[in-house]
Homo-oligomer: A and B are copies of this chain.
Amino acid sequence: MDIKMLCLGALSLGDATGYDIKKLFDEAFSHFFAAGYGSIYPALEKLTEEGKVAYDRHQQEKRPDKKVFSITAAGREVFIAELTQTPPREKLRSEFLVLMFFAHLLSPPRLAEILQERLDESQRELAMLEDLTKREMPAGMKFTVHYALAATHAAIVCIKEHQQDLLRDARVIVNQCARPKSPGEQHA
């Protein structure tokens, strides 16, 4: 399951330009898959070569020409076959948790900043997801929003719960390091 397949999926919902597909990645897909123009346009080119999509050139008066892509019958078949054999994996890559794992190496103000930034970001995501719940969509799509909402909410609660304790601990550790060592404590 790569960006090519997600583009095919996007086109299974209706015809679109590369630009449109990017918007889909930024909105509907954003909480579970990321892509930029640098991957989307080459992906569409390869799919075209493979006969899985085709495009019509739409001339516009006051805009550059558009390439409006559609999925072909072959493309739809390949996409459904792919869905049928893709295992339902999930992989998180969290720089935030790396920072927290090594929190004992951070200064207390930096730690406070990290927690606050993540909290703010999570709250922005929450707002975006709550906005999405208002749109009409099939049950499966709706589920992805609920799922992301639940995870984001849980994250926010967890950060708020531990924030004070983590910062208190950080200050204590800094104080211990600042205090001159008594003899025999070097190899503690």
Interface residues of A (CB under 8 A from B): 1, 5-6, 9, 12, 28-29, 31-34, 79-80, 83-84, 86-107, 110, 114, 117-118, 121, 138-141, 143-144, 146-148, 150-151, 153-155, 157-159, 162, 165-166, 169-170
Contact = CB atoms under 8 A, between A and B. Distances in A.
B144 A150 contact: no
Contacts of A29: 101
Q: Is the interface of A mostly helix, strand, loop or mixed?
A: helix
Contacts of A97: 31-33, 90, 144, 147-148
Identical chains in the assembly: 2
B165 A155 contact: no
Contacts of A143: 100, 103, 162, 166
A133 to B, nearest CB: 13
A1 B95 contact: yes
Contacts of A118: 88, 90
Contacts of A165: 139
The 6 A-B pairs with the shortest beta carbon distances in the complex, nearest first, are A103-B140, A154-B154, A32-B97, A88-B96, A32-B94, A150-B154
A87 B88 CA distance: 29
Nearest to A146: B158
A56 B34 CA distance: 41
Given A84-B106, A100-B143, A101-B141, 4 more contacts: A32-B101, A90-B96, A97-B144, A150-B154
A96 to B, nearest CB: 4
Nearest to A172: B139
A140 B102 contact: yes
A139 B166 contact: yes
A9 B110 CA distance: 18
